Amino acid sequence: MKKIAIFIFLLFIFSCSDNSEESINNNLIEDNTSIQLENDKAEEKINQKDPKDYNKNTPSPSDHNNQTSETKEIYDKSSVISVDFGPESGNYIRANYRVKEQLARLPSPIEAIGYTDSITGGIYIDAQGVPNKNSIINIDLSTLKSDESRRDNYLRGSSLETDKFPKAVFEIREIAGFDLSSLITLQKNDFQMQLIGDLTIHGVTKRKTWNIDATYELGKLKGKASLSFPFSDFDMDIPKLFFIISVEDKITLELDFDVLLSLDSTIDLTSKSVPQFISEQIGANKPNSLYTNAWLCADDKTVLVDDLSTQIEETWKCYVDIELSDDSVVVTSTGIPNHDFQSGLGCCAEEVNYQWIIPTNPQINETITMAPDRGAVAITVTGVPIFGPEEGPGGDAVALHFDYFEEDRQPIEIGVCGGHSAGAYFHYHFDANCMHWHPEGTGLDWEDWDYRTSLDTSEHSPIIGFAFDGFPIYGPYGWDSYKNVIEITSSYRLKKDSNGYGGIDDWEYIEGLGDTDECNGISSPTPEVPDGIYHYVSSIRNGEGEIGFPYFLLCYHGIPEQSNFDKGGTQQGPPLRNQMQGNPNRRSQSPDFTEAASKLGISQKELLSALGGPPPDLEKAAEVLGVSIDELREIIPLPPRR
């Protein structure tokens, strides 16, 4: 927020004066000092009088606009910077409270923490950095919850009386603490600032200041706001419960946020003499929320998951880090999903160091580019590779999974959420929607995931990944032209007398059979892009109700980033099991080939070498070892199960 606000200040100053750069900077520094002093005085004064009198004595945003006629010529009267909150904004914000308690069963105090995500409103700032009267944050206190329902019931019922006062409302009056010493930096910036305004809780209004620690980079603001006060400030009762000995008379409120700043397009950058670096940076500060807000396992949020194909309980880490550039986002990931998974016969998955490049300004190309038959064609929002429909020697992995044909070349198992591993390399072949589903509180486990019953059919599916050309991949439920939720179906079907054994060659595109085009994409509005965007679909069914080949995408309508195609263990194949790097104890979790090698009269190393992969090529191995495929299948061990 600071960087955009700074540019707006500069824009205004350069438009009103021909002063030298030195005098401008001096004026800005003086203005900043004045702002801080006035803010300190304002807060001290306002706390000494009835908050209802505030609007009578404080200039409104419109008063500020009337003070400078020159500004009116440059800017539209609407806000030039805005941040929206709410379920449709795409911005993340959560309200927390913290209270120290002494529980009867514990020797020392603990910190009780509750939260709610039910927050609406927004912040709207004019050209002078003044928030307008619509800058309000509404917090639904009736949805507050913690780890103790009895505490929640008392807090909502007795302390807050949410039946009478369901919301906390913060009306923002001032924004203070801009650090003007870094005016011309275009780099990532950490800073502190304050939001000053009227906080209403439990029917009582007080002037309060939120202290904010935030990081700003390329239009995205991420950080935490906090303030503390005694319960008595808002006539609230300190919680009194039989299992709580005492509660400190101090409550801390926090707002965790990760938001995009929107810049009003009505600014006329050509009407006045504006430094080039300012106009360029303002133009650059419009990143698409698709490429900043969609990622899971980011922001240092630790997500540990288990491989259900092994006998031990692992703690593999799902991790994603993104770095924006002018035309792409660089995604660093471990290749581990955010849900428990099954490696399957190619056991066992491990954390891998991936770096993907996703274009952020994809354009429809006149000609399509075919995706690889096998290997990575896209990534999920957890940084896990999405593979094409084929597996191993060329059979359709998903058709086999649904028993369309019987595999006689090599076994294929697809586990939770349509994914499995080729040695260390976990990837998806279809579905992948369960990354937005969590079984906690449902009485279910990850193995209970079933897209036929677990998917929410009442709302537009979220983004589940990005193709290598930069276009997003959504789940199977989208909007029609009236924004009614419908299932988006594939337009592919099996050729006559085919069953998927031949992989991609067994399928044909029939225009109009379903909703998607030959690449399995469609142009339509989405929650993130209401005006419409081309995107691929994680199709579950085709227009005839059969399986939805190609499940993700078969070709690209944009220009794919070529560097992504040599990742995911897809070119020269992942290392053999006896060559794997990483945790040395992982070998004991893989199938034990000692007995199988003994039956064949060879060493385990010779057997693994013959099998190749992963995944193993049983047909080739049988030929090398001089046995039949059936004999080899009989003695090859399955991965250990829990």
Distances (CA, A) of 533 to 196, 323, 362: 39, 23, 10
- Would you state the torsion angle of the CA atoms of residues 27, 29, 32, 36, taken in this order, to the nearest 10 degrees? -130
Bigger pLDDT: 394 vs 205: 205
Distance, CA of 545 to CA of 250 (rounded, Å)? 59
Locate 428 and state its tokens: 């998806």
Average pLDDT, the chain: 76
List, in sequence order, every residue forming a beta bridge with 477; answer none if it has no partner.
Answer: 487
Burial of 234 (0-12, 13-18, 19+ CB in 10 A): buried
* Nearest of 251, 253, 262, 256 to residue 220 by alpha carbon: 262
In the chain, residues under CATH classification 2.40.128.110 are 2-287
Locate 306 and state its tokens: 């288990």
The model's confidence at residue 560, banded by pLDDT at 50, 70 and 90, is very high
pTM, two decimals, is 0.50
Distances (CA, A) of 365 to 361, 465, 544: 12, 20, 29
Q: Omega before 348 cis (within 30°)?
A: yes
pLDDT of residue 615: 53
What is the dihedral sign for C-alpha 441, 445, 446, 449? negative
Angle at 441 between CA 436 and CA 442, to 5 degrees: 75
Distance, CA of 225 to CA of 211 (rounded, Å)? 5
C-beta neighbour count of 593 within 10 angstroms: 20
Bigger pLDDT: 632 vs 308: 308
* Nearest of 181, 234, 231, 191 to residue 211 by alpha carbon: 191
3, pLDDT greater than 60: no
Distance, CA of 393 to CA of 381 (rounded, Å)? 28
169, pLDDT greater than 90: yes
The model's confidence at residue 263, banded by pLDDT at 50, 70 and 90, is low
pLDDT in tens, 465-504: 999 999 999 999 999 877 889 999 999 999 999 999 899 9
Lowest-confidence region among 71-85, 153-167, 407-421, 440-454: 71-85
DSSP state of 367: S
Residue burial 47-83, b: 16+ Cβ < 10 Å; e: rest: eeeebeebeeeeeebeebbeeeeebeebbeeebbbbb
Distance, CA of 541 to CA of 474 (rounded, Å)? 14
Residue burial 307-325, b: 16+ Cβ < 10 Å; e: rest: bbbbeeebebebbbbbebe
Contact between 368 and 476 under an 8 Å Cβ cutoff? The reply is no
Q: What is the mean pLDDT of residues 57-81?
A: 39
Which residue shows structure tokens 């959504």? 474
**The pairing of beta strand 533-537 with beta strand 472-474:** parallel
* Nearest of 604, 579, 492 to residue 541 by alpha carbon: 492
Which secondary-structure segment (H or E) carries 607? helix 604-611
pLDDT of residue 28: 36
pLDDT in tens, 101-113: 777 777 777 788 8
The CATH topology of domain 2-287 is: Lipocalin (2.40.128)
What is the dihedral sign for C-alpha 187, 190, 192, 198? positive
Chain-centroid distance of CA 567 in Å reads 22
Contact between 226 and 245 under an 8 Å Cβ cutoff? The reply is no
Residue 579 phi/psi, 5-degree rounding, is -115, 0
Distance, CA of 308 to CA of 641 (rounded, Å)? 7
Q: Specify the amino acid at residue 81.
A: I
**CA-based max dimension of the chain:** 94
pLDDT of residue 246: 73
Contacts of 528 (CB under 8 A, 6+ apart): 90, 289, 290, 293, 294, 463, 472
Distance, CA of 53 to CA of 198 (rounded, Å)? 11
pLDDT of residue 569: 53
Contact between 435 and 464 under an 8 Å Cβ cutoff? The reply is yes
The model's confidence at residue 115, banded by pLDDT at 50, 70 and 90, is very high
Bigger pLDDT: 637 vs 296: 296
